[in-house]
Amino acid sequence: MAQRSPIRSFLSVVPSEKTESGEPTKRVKKTKTKTSGKKATKSASRKSAPGTRGDRPLEAPPRDPKKMGSAIPAFSDGEPAQPPPSRAHLAQQQQQSQQLAEQLRMGRVPRSRNLSESASVETPRPPRGSKSRDRLTEPRPATSTRSTPQSRPVAQEGSDSPRERVPGRRPPDSGSKPPRKRTPKGQSKRTAATPSQPNTPKARTRKTTEKKGKRTKISPLIYGARLLILGVGLGVLAGTLLSIWNPADNYTVGAAGNTEIPQEEQQEQVTPAYNLQALPLTQEITTLKEKLQAMAAEHPELTPGVYAIELDTGAYLDLNGAQRFSAASTIKVPILIAFFQDVDAGKITLDEMLTMKQEHIAEGSGDMQFTEPGTKYSALETATKMSEISDNTATNMLIERLGGAGALNQRFASWGLSNTAIANLLPDLEGTNTTSPQDLVQVMGLVEQGQVLSLRSRDRLFKIMQNTVNNSLLPQGLGSGAAIAHKTGDIGTAISDAGLVDMPNGKRYLMAAIVKRPHNDPAAEELIRQMSKVVYQSFNGEL
């Protein structure tokens, strides 16, 4: 049987003092403990049951042999009680306990160190059967009650000593209520009860929610750009289909032998696709205009339209120039320009052979109508016959080769010709094909400035127009030494002529004249000759 500790024996035999009334006395003891240079005073007042004295060991009171007797009380197990320790021994044990508590607080004692080696005071064990366990009173440091796992002492394995406790801390007891922990000032209970490190904020866990992708709003500018791109694509597709489609397959031949153009193709208008510059106009020659008006007044049955411009100075004349007239054969001027434009683009070669068909044959001017269908002509020969002798059959052959009347009307509109259109194949005796003096001057001015044709094609075109067989109109008003490249037109209701004039003084001017007349009235031809003479004299400085 192990030997009992003197402290335990002393606590078991010391009787509680009683007052005269029979009540046990209340002992008050103040303990001062120095902790890190600060004084902490703790006062405790408790009633102690027999055999217990609060949290700290009390000095043994003097024993009265008369009251106690000579017999030494024994423990419940029959072992005799040990004599109590002296005061010096208790003071030494208390000092060692304070030093050990200070070392624990400062963290100087390693975790693996056995407290039984550094503490000489063994925790007394209460007698068996008692409801409460004696507590060894040790000085408690005035620090936080929180302790880390590293500072808790662990008994060595294989030790025969009873389980050791940390001084100043009451072990849990199944038979008694656990001691109430005190929370220092300035520290909340929630913080003191948490075994984590001090002043460590608790990490907050954010609940992550899966965000749905937001629909991006389309900017109006981007939306408009997409629509524009779509429109351009549709326009290109439509243009490709129109270039493949041949409108000549839908022509219907009338009773008079003319081919009628569908109405929707006649009215179709296209904005200019070329970056064309208008002819440079400076000021209108009012004196010349007054003279022409006086000449027209002498023939009230005639309706003349005249437009002329001097290319060097930009001076111009405009007498009903924008009025729409029957084109007659002057419609062949823009057709000839379109032909050489396709030659420049490589769509047609000059030596390409064209076959004359039965539907191409047309009465009126020209000699190709007298040949058998199936006869072949080169493209250049066909264009030359159309302009020089105004062959209607050759004109119909070129209209088909250039894509039909609808395709040509679109091209005329792209040149800025607002009054020029093909409504019927030739001969157009009813005068449904239209143009204006201003349109004819405009398109020849584009050719002369090199905006529509190459220089080579321009020279070929003007050379063909210089060989025009019919010279009864504009050429009759010119002076000696002047040259003209022109094209005439003649039907029962209208007569016309348009051309480029080179004067001996080196100046050039363009002129177009169309006169609406009663059926085959010869006065219209004479009026064009007189007006041509007055314009030539004005630009030559004779007036």
Residue scoring higher pLDDT (107 or 387) = 387
- Beta 483-490 vs 494-502: how paired, if at all? antiparallel
Whether 37 shows a pLDDT value over 90: the answer reads no
Among 104-118, 416-430, 469-483, 498-512, whose mean pLDDT is lowest?
A: 104-118
Among 183-192, 418-427, 449-458, whose mean pLDDT is lowest?
A: 183-192
| Rounded-to-integer distance, Cα 250 and Cα 258, Å | 13
Among 230-234, 275-279, 369-373, whose mean pLDDT is lowest?
A: 275-279
Whether 252 shows a pLDDT value over 70: the answer reads no
**Confidence at residue 262, expressed as pLDDT on a 0 to 100 scale:** 54
**Confidence at residue 233, expressed as pLDDT on a 0 to 100 scale:** 83
Topology at the third CATH level for domain 274-352+404-540: Beta-lactamase (3.40.710)
Whether 383 shows a pLDDT value over 60: the answer reads yes
| Rounded-to-integer distance, Cα 91 and Cα 139, Å | 12
What is the full DSSP assignment across 3-22?
PPPHHHHHHHHPPPPB-TTS
Averaging pLDDT over each range in 148-162, 202-216, 417-431, which range is the top one?
417-431
User: Mean pLDDT over all residues of the chain?
Assistant: 74
Whether 475 shows a pLDDT value over 70: the answer reads yes
- Segments making up each domain of the chain, as ranges: 1-14+54-151, 274-352+404-540
Residue scoring higher pLDDT (252 or 217) = 217
Q: Which amino acid is at 408?
A: L
**Confidence at residue 384, expressed as pLDDT on a 0 to 100 scale:** 97
**Confidence at residue 203, expressed as pLDDT on a 0 to 100 scale:** 54
* CA angle (341, 351, 382) in 5-degree steps: 70
Question: pTM for the whole thing?
Answer: 0.54
User: Phi and psi (nearest 5°) for 397?
Assistant: -65, -40
Separation in Å, CA 515 to CA 58, 317, 443, 493: 148, 16, 20, 9
Mean pLDDT of 445-461: 94
Whether 347 shows a pLDDT value over 90: the answer reads yes
**Confidence at residue 442, expressed as pLDDT on a 0 to 100 scale:** 94
Residues 6+ apart with CB under 8 A from 65: none
Whether 303 shows a pLDDT value over 70: the answer reads yes
pLDDT band (50, 70, 90) for residue 241: confident
User: What percent of the chain shows pLDDT beyond 70?
Assistant: 57
Among 93-107, 318-332, 496-510, whose mean pLDDT is lowest?
A: 93-107
pLDDT band (50, 70, 90) for residue 156: very low
Residue 427 preceded by cis peptide, ω within 30? yes
**Confidence at residue 89, expressed as pLDDT on a 0 to 100 scale:** 78
User: What percent of the chain shows pLDDT beyond 90?
Assistant: 47
**Confidence at residue 479, expressed as pLDDT on a 0 to 100 scale:** 94
pLDDT in tens, 414-444: 999 999 999 999 999 999 999 999 999 999 9
Mean pLDDT of 356-382: 95
Among 97-101, 368-372, 475-479, 508-512, whose mean pLDDT is lowest?
A: 97-101
**Confidence at residue 201, expressed as pLDDT on a 0 to 100 scale:** 53
Residues 6+ apart with CB under 8 A from 149: 195
| Rounded-to-integer distance, Cα 361 and Cα 375, Å | 11
Separation in Å, CA 17 to CA 21, 57, 488: 11, 16, 156
What are 24's two structure tokens? 């046990």
